[in-house]
Amino acid sequence: MSIYHLHIPRTSGGYIRNLIINNLNPKNAISGHYRKISSFDFKDADFISGHYGIEPIKFVEKTFTVIRDPNELTFSYIKYLSLVDNNSKFNEDFLKKYLYQDDLRNSVTNVMTQFLSSEVKIEEYNRNIQNHLYMANHSWCLKNNELSYKNALSIIQKNNIKIFIYNSENLYSNILNFINVNDNNILNNKINESFKENNNLFEKYFHVIKNANYEDNRLYEELI
């Protein structure tokens, strides 16, 4: 069976990827962010995990993804990028840069809608695989399709994409059950809640983040 883990940023993807590889032992896996990709690779893989949008779906038998409250996701994403950006300090100025600069805001908002409705631009992706910040600031080289939560819902339904909720109980066990693997002593509390460390800042800019995440908030409401 071939499986695609459509990894939306800040949804515990690294842990999920390693969990599946360690339990499934795929013979031909494509995973991580620092390797070149091609359609031929997707076609031959039995397990794919990455920020590849909907590109690999047509090559696999099962696709799943994890969704998260969009506003928490955006805040967590910006905080994460402060570590990628030469260890810049996460503070109000860094947050405002991502919320008020159009191109940067577009890269960290409506993230789920982007990943669930866009194919990856493979050539651009391959050119920039060693520049994590470039990739994140350019939506992981996804094609600039018109954002629409309705389009994302249609793609989910058409391709029978299995949806898991980030903060749901037994998330990891449920994912392993979906791919027919027994869960062996896994941690079901691995969820990253680091954004709560800056909860006051999150609350201060909540409405700005929410307004920018219109498509994702509608998508999230529909899916849950």
Q: Which residue has the tokens 């405002």?
A: 96
> Is the pLDDT assigned to residue 209 strictly greater than 70?
yes
Q: Indicate the number of domains in the chain.
A: 1
Confidence label for 181 from pLDDT (cuts 50, 70 and 90): confident
What pLDDT, on the 0 to 100 scale, is given for residue 85?
87
pLDDT at 210: 98
Q: Which residue has the tokens 């962010």?
A: 33
pLDDT band at 190 (very low <50, low <70, confident <90, very high): low
Query: Contact 45/76 with Cβ under 8 angstroms?
Result: no
For residue 93, count other CB atoms closer than 10 A to its CB.
9
pLDDT computed for residue 72 by the predictor: 97
> How far, CA to CA in Å, does 12 sit from each of 109, 179, 186, 214?
17, 17, 14, 23
35: part of which helix (H) or strand (E)? Answer: none
pLDDT at 123: 96
The pLDDT score that the predictor gives to residue 109 is 98
- Is the model's pLDDT at 116 over the cut of 80? yes
Which residue range is the domain that position 97 belongs to? Answer: 3-223
Q: What is the chain's alpha carbon radius of gyration, rounded to the nearest angstrom?
A: 17
Q: 44, 2, 38, 8: which is closest to 20 by C-alpha?
A: 2
Measured in degrees and rounded to the nearest 5, phi and psi for residue 47 equal: -145, 130
Q: Which two three-digit tokens encode residue 124?
A: 């651009």
> Taking 90 as the threshold, does the pLDDT of residue 173 lie above it?
yes
89-105 residue pLDDT tens: 999 999 999 999 999 99
d(CA 35, CA 197): 33
What's the rounded Cα separation, in Å, for the pair 35 and 50? Answer: 10
Count of residues in the chain: 224
Q: Map tokens 């980030």 to a residue.
A: 166
Q: What is the pLDDT of residues 7-42, one digit of tens each?
A: 999 999 999 999 999 998 999 999 988 899 999 999
